[in-house]
């Protein structure tokens, strides 16, 4: 997990706990001012706890006496609150997450991260990767109706059938990683066929499975590596060490002499040496990819032993979607 996101969650939990305490105190003061008889019962309950503990330490009262007395007092308080029109648990401790009580951890001896923190972390990852909003790009939202039923060139399959197969391969990879058949993926083909959509869908599925993923555009990748190259630094830990790195639209970034190719090679080669996954989408053909990024890089991303190559075919679907939207509005 990324440390900066975990720290952000810790700060949020601290704020939540403070807010909970303020809410509890405000409710106690409200009930105490309005209903002295309920306030008397709550004081009796507090005195029972501390008084019993003192008696136990002195060898007097027995620990087993406390639960039954506490149960009776709690029931009296709940009944009185309901009689006054309040929820029965109005004076109970306030938590947003009843499982971890807003601490973020569960377990007595072995501490584990609570599910609420995992969900918040996933939401933050989606936010940082641009995977939020009303038009989230997920496998469930994949539309095959925008693809043609015409036969793909040199194939017995239609364009739609081919794209459904590509989608199936991407979803299977995201469901099975790291136990998938091939570690790396290369999605290639003309623009407007849904490569970015599929990268976003895979990233969302990996996040659901708590697998660290970083999705960057080719331009942002270049900016990061170029700044470090000229600054004399090393390539960032995220690029080199994240479990899954996705680079979208490779080939659209400007070529910087002796920087783009060299830094891309360092990242891909370093990640493959660590058995970490790299997923790349590009509008280039395989020949164009090889020519632009040299044989060294092409050989690593077209090695069928470690990389699955998924060609996308058809016409730009963005125009189809726009036409469909206009028809719906008509």
Q: Quick one: 156 and 305 in the same domain?
A: yes
Claim to verify: residue 63 and residue 191 sit in the same structural domain: no
Q: Indicate the pTM of the whole model.
A: 0.68
Tens of pLDDT, residues 291-314:
999 898 899 898 888 899 999 988
Angle at 138 between CA 116 and CA 254, to 5 degrees: 110
pLDDT bin (cut points 50, 70, 90) of residue 234 is low
Same domain, yes or no: 57 and 205: no
Q: Does 311 share its domain with 162?
A: yes
Q: Does residue 127 form part of some domain?
A: no
Query: Considering 80, 97, 114, which residue would you say is the last residue of a domain?
Result: 97
The CATH number of residue 304's host domain is: 3.40.50.300
Residue 68's domain spans which residues?
3-97
In a domain, 110, yes or no: no
* DSSP structure string for 39-77: HHHHHHHHHHHHHHHHHHHTT-S-TTHHHHHHHHHHHHH
CA distances from 188 to 3, 105, 139, 318 (A): 33, 43, 18, 17
Lowest mean pLDDT among 11-15, 59-63, 121-125, 164-168: 59-63
The answer to whether residue 304 sits within a structural domain is yes
Q: Domain check: are 188 and 273 in the same one?
A: yes
Question: 30 with 176, same domain?
Answer: no
pLDDT at 328: 37
Model pLDDT, residue 233: 54
Each residue's pLDDT tens digit, 51-90 = 665 665 566 555 566 778 888 999 999 999 999 999 999 9
- Considering the domain architecture, whether residues 93 and 168 belong to the same structural domain is answered as no
Same domain? For 293 and 182 the reply is yes
pLDDT tens digit string along 239-250? 888 899 999 999
Between 115-128 and 195-208, two packed helices, what is the crossing angle to 10 degrees?
A: 160
**pLDDT beyond 60 at 321:** no
Domain count of the fold of the chain: 2
Residue 226 lies in a domain: yes
d(CA 38, CA 31): 7
CA–CA separation, 220 and 203 (whole Å): 17
Choose the final residue of a domain: 74, 97, 120.
Answer: 97
Is 20 contained in some domain?
Answer: yes
In a domain, 124, yes or no: no
Domain assignment of residue 113, yes or no: no
Residue 85: phi, psi to the nearest 5?
90, 15
Q: Are residues 287 and 231 in the same domain?
A: yes
Last residue within a domain, chosen from 43, 72, 97: 97
Task: Place 108 in a pLDDT band, splitting at 50, 70 and 90.
Answer: confident
What is the tens place of the pLDDT at every residue in 149-183? 888 777 788 889 999 999 999 999 999 999 998 99
Q: Are residues 78 and 202 part of one domain?
A: no
* Beta-carbon count within 10 A of 305 CB: 6
Q: What is the pLDDT of residue 325?
A: 40
The pLDDT, as a whole number, for residue 26 is 96
Residue 218 resides in a domain: yes
Residue 122 has a pLDDT of 79
**Is residue 91 located within the same domain as residue 136?**
no
pLDDT per residue over 175-206, tens digit each? 999 999 899 999 999 888 899 999 999 999 99
pLDDT at 226: 76
| pLDDT at residue 330 is higher than 50 | no
pLDDT, position 56: 57
- 24-56 residue pLDDT tens: 999 999 999 999 999 999 988 888 777 665 665
Distances (CA, A) of 152 to 110, 142, 165, 313: 56, 20, 13, 8
Asked if pLDDT for residue 129 goes beyond 80, the answer is no
Residue 231: predicted pLDDT: 63
138 with 90, same domain: the answer is no
Write down the pLDDT at residue 61: 54
Q: Which single residue is written with the structure tokens 């060139």? A: 153
Give all strands of the β-sheet with 213-217 in edge-to-edge order: 213-217, 244-250, 277-282, 184-188, 307-311
């Amino acid at each position: 997990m990324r440390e900066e996101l975990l720290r952000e969650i810790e700060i949020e939990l601290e704020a939540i706990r403070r807010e909970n305490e303020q809410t509890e105190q405000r409710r106690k003061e409200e009930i105490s001012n309005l209903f002295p008889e309920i306030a008397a019962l709550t004081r009796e309950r507090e005195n029972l706890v501390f008084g019993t503990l003192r008696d136990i330490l002195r060898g007097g009262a027995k620990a087993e006496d406390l639960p039954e007395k506490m149960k009776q007092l709690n029931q009296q308080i709940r009944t009185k609150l309901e009689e006054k029109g309040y929820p029965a648990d109005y004076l109970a401790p306030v938590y947003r997450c009843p499982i971890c009580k807003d601490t973020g951890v569960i377990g007595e001896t072995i501490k584990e991260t609570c599910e609420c923190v995992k969900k918040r972390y996933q939401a933050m990852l989606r936010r940082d990767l641009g995977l939020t909003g009303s038009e989230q790009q997920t496998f469930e939202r994949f539309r095959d109706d925008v693809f043609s039923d015409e036969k793909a060139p040199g194939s017995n399959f239609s364009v739609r059938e081919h794209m459904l197969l590509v989608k199936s391969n991407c979803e299977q990879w995201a469901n099975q990683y790291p136990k998938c058949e091939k570690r790396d993926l290369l999605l290639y083909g003309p623009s407007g066929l849904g490569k970015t959509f599929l990268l976003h869908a895979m990233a969302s599925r990996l996040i659901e499975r708590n697998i660290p993923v970083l999705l960057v555009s080719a331009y942002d990748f270049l900016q990061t590596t170029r700044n470090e190259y000229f600054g004399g630094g090393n390539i960032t830990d995220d690029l080199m060490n994240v479990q899954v790195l996705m680079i979208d639209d490779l080939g659209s970034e400007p070529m910087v002499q002796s920087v783009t190719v060299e830094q891309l090679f360092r990242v891909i080669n370093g990640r493959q040496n660590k058995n970490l996954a790299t997923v790349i989408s590009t509008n280039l053909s395989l020949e164009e990819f090889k020519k632009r990024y040299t044989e060294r890089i092409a050989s690593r991303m077209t090695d069928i032993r470690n990389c699955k190559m998924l060609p996308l075919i058809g016409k730009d679907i963005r125009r189809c979607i726009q036409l469909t939207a206009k028809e719906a509005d008509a």
